Structure 1
Amino acid sequence: MLELLSAPPVDPLWDLSAEFAADPRPERLDLVLGVYRDHTGATPVMAAVKEAEIRLADRAVSKEYRGLSGNTAFNRAMLSMVLGTDARTARATAVQTVAGTGALRLLADLVRQTRPGTTVWISDPAYVNHRPILEGAGLTVRTYGYGGGDDVMLEDLRAARRGDVVLLQGCCHNPTGADPAAETWEALAGLAEANGWVPFVDLAYHGLGDGLDADLWATRMLADRLPEVLIAVSCSKNFGLYSDRTGCAIVLGPSRQTLRHVETALQNAARVLYSMPPDHGAAVVATVLEDAGLRATWRAELDAMRGRIAANRADLVAHLEALGCPDVAASLRRQKGMFSMLPLTPEQMRRMRGQSGVYGTNAGRINIAGVCAHRIPFLAQAVAATLDSPATPPGGTAGLPATAGPRTAW
């Protein structure tokens, strides 16, 4: 049997991470994976999370199964945090998922159950896992232009028809770091109303762009304007619960009976995929959000993280301008959140890895939240040197150490 398996494609991000790990240069810089790092280069456990974990350990609650919907206190807390008002939460249901990825997949399965073969529109460029998740659920994927101006996105989405689903990142777009203007969000809601397509909002970075409520504004506006909205929520970034895989699938619908059917459908999809989600991360989030003191501590920590990310970007922009790279600096200045998209070609990104040991994706994405402040000048110099250096000759390595491993094509 196994000899019939052809070589599957490798995951582009983890392939680059393996390449980074094999690079012997001590000055190398890993800006591939989307994790927040503090000024020491560590990915910290937030103080509010630590305190919640201590309280949970002291209670020594049972490890019994929570059920197919997961931790109900977590689900209530997530509905309240994301939607903000009782009027919105009354129109919604939620189930806990295995991180934001699990939420995306459960909601994709819900779409397929409702209307097999549904067309889902995603941005181009998009988060690397959007297309595989949607196609893995049996859906048809089309793309709309993104990053070339809001008019391009709006024009492309005029082709979305009744019954289609449009996947929108609620804030801090991955990989571009560029978000639509408020009036563009309003125009998108108008298109959805007029043409009958359903918004599918991916929320993974709320709190790390303009602030928690500002980052949730677009999602809440869509909830106010439209009868149906799908929302996939991740707690990996804004609670620092990367390895605890904590997320939530939220659906807003027109009636309580519809929402009961939705919850059952999501539960059935979860039963097939993984049965029940792990409880620890959800219990931590519920503990934080239900306690006024812990919630305030968490909000302050989240604001501090957002401030450090913004300071990193501003510092990089200033260094690039000083090094004579005004076009790159101008591009970065308009971005927000954990990621920035460098206006470099795939060949230039490979060259930067080879020459300077700075690892971003071939598409130009770097994790600006993963840079220690004292490494910003090094990063700026690497970008400038890449722009100044000649192209790599065919078959050349541009200084890449022989031990650094194969290069990904992504």
Structure 2
Amino acid sequence: MTPTSPGHSGAKMTEHHTTDIAVLGAGSIGMAVALQLVQEGREVVIVDPGAPGMGASYGNAGTIADYAVQPVGTPDVLKNLPALLFDRNSPLAIRHAALPTLAPWLLRFARQSLPGAAARNAQAIAALVGSANARWRDFAAEIGGSALLQHRGCLYLYETAAAFRAAGRDMTARRTLGIEVELLRPEAFSAMEPGLPVVEGGAAYFPQATFLSDPGEMMRRLAARLTALGVPHLHHRAENLSRQFDGILVQGPGLRLHARQVVIAAGAHSRALAAQAGDRVPLDTERGYHVEWDMERPRLTRPTCPTTRGFYLCPMSGRLRVAGTVELGGLTAPPSPHRIARLVEGARAIFPDLGTPSRDWMGFRPSMPDSLPVISPSRAGNDVIHAYGHGHIGLTLAPITARIVADIAAGRQTDLDVAPYAVTRF
């Protein structure tokens, strides 16, 4: 990075910088991209007004979800969509005030939930996540986070016999996409997780899945590694992109940055930047929540999702995190006390003796109607590269996305066919 003398923009001092490549966003995707690029010898600057990794990259369930190959939109979801969206207690809900602006997104979501589209989307997700565990082992080792990576699998919990029977079709579909899964009767499930209540149905066990015992700590180690490698983090909000004859000009309050290439990795905040690069994307925002109870032993040994409740029970360092549900509602509304209360109520249905939560949190996920991220060069060329829209699997896909972006930036052939994730698909 080459800074120049600061100048005035109104009453505020403006920082002037030049760099080879600027990464807009300091979540797990942006930081992983920056790490991959600097390891290839690129001069990299990260631009983000917030603390690195402390948005959705911190607040998630911590799962490296290579088994999560089904898109959010499926024929079953489409059939029940009106009830799901307008039931305040549904795991998939909508803030009614946001409905007018969400309507175009919802129409696209409905089309992507039809059988043919949903099947194609599942195949595209499976192609992306297939190497997630192997990539994360290398990635964690690189940033000194191997001890935080837990290799104990993940469970889907079916509380009724009917739900367990219905799960068979879903698990068959996952197996066809290369996912290893075992269906466990109640006695086998209870032997595996004696701290959870006995259920009538059973569980699906994904033995290859891994998870992070502390996503926030993993993000801190990633940020520390970037600092050690000399990657600057400019704490500014990038609000404007414009193409110049010799690169891209990035501007925002107090910021003027010239870069030869730019990676948009700003998660739920990426849509306006993409439009300024000439690429319109149907990106909207899911508001995700978690609630935590501090405890020395968090009652279970691996992430467990009671499927009808739409959240994960997550054993983390010194605490139990309950994370999940989907609320479509934009970037500006305050957290919903009702959604937090539903998480607390659901957790107490599993563990009735839980007391008052130690803390709660709300953050933003970038959500695409087809559940596929946008990982591709701009329509106008690879001077702007898109890397956002990962929905529920951003943490999972961070090192994979980083490799793809580095290949695109260098003009190399990617290992994976990235056509399904191209910005030109819209």
The reply to whether TM is greater than 0.5 is no
State the TM-score bracket (shorter-chain normalisation).
under 0.3
TM-score, scaled relative to structure 1:
0.25
